[in-house]
Chains A and B, each alone.
Chain A
């Protein structure tokens, strides 16, 4: 069955960087676009970024554009999110999702001094 497992979350100071990973299994990863979506504590869903099946096309939400980079390694069926210049408002659970259909359980990122 399709499985997505996020990792890499944790507590980080404002201004620092963090890299999230999403390991995919149970489907042909290289055939599907992949997304990151986040949810701040007690808040709604916010779309973060999407990458095409081959990694050539990316789009970002306005609040992360220029600071976050989405990428993928199809040989390892893994999706990444490089997060730079982190801010307290970036504190959230980060979910990866295949074409916004199947979602992982998320990884918590806390930005705090």
Chain B
């Protein structure tokens, strides 16, 4: 069981906006910034969002992150077929002195 909770699956049609939630507690999401990753089958995870909704160079602005209290979410607008893959949230946990990941959400573009 992961410390951060994500739904196992999500889906949308091309052009649609989808959101992927990530729930934690005051020691992780509530007190630290969130990283979001995309992993396409068979490849290494790719950082999408870090710090306060910062996107690394090359990540389209269709991807955005938000946080409220002990929950966070990743929004993908203008959904494209290439967005299919697994998405993970991560945060530092002050009580565990460890990084913690969500269990991952498999995004399907219908």
Contact = CB atoms under 8 A, between A and B. Distances in A.
Among A35, A61, A62, A100, chain B packs the most CB atoms within 10 A around the CB of A100
A43 to B, nearest CB: 8
A104 B101 contact: no
A106 B42 CA distance: 10
Interface residues of A, number: 19
B17 interface: no
Interface in B28-86: 35, 37, 39, 43-47, 50, 56, 86
Interface in A55-113: 59-62, 95, 100-106
A47 B47 contact: no
Contacts of B39: 45
Contact of A104 (B44, B46, B102): B44
A22 interface: no
A95 B43 CA distance: 11
Contacts of A105: 43-44
Q: How large, as a class, is the contact surface on chain B?
A: 20 to 34
A103 B90 CA distance: 15
B103 to A, nearest CB: 5
Contacts of A45: 37, 39, 45, 88, 90, 101, 104
Given A45-B37, A100-B90, A62 B96 contact: yes
A100 B100 CA distance: 12
B38 to A, nearest CB: 11
Contacts of A26: none
B44 A100 contact: no
A20 interface: no
A44 B104 CA distance: 6
A47 B101 contact: yes
Given A37-B101, A105-B44, 15 more contacts: A37-B45, A44-B101, A44-B103, A45-B37, A45-B88, A45-B104, A47-B101, A100-B90, A100-B99, A101-B47, A101-B50, A101-B56, A103-B46, A103-B47, A105-B43
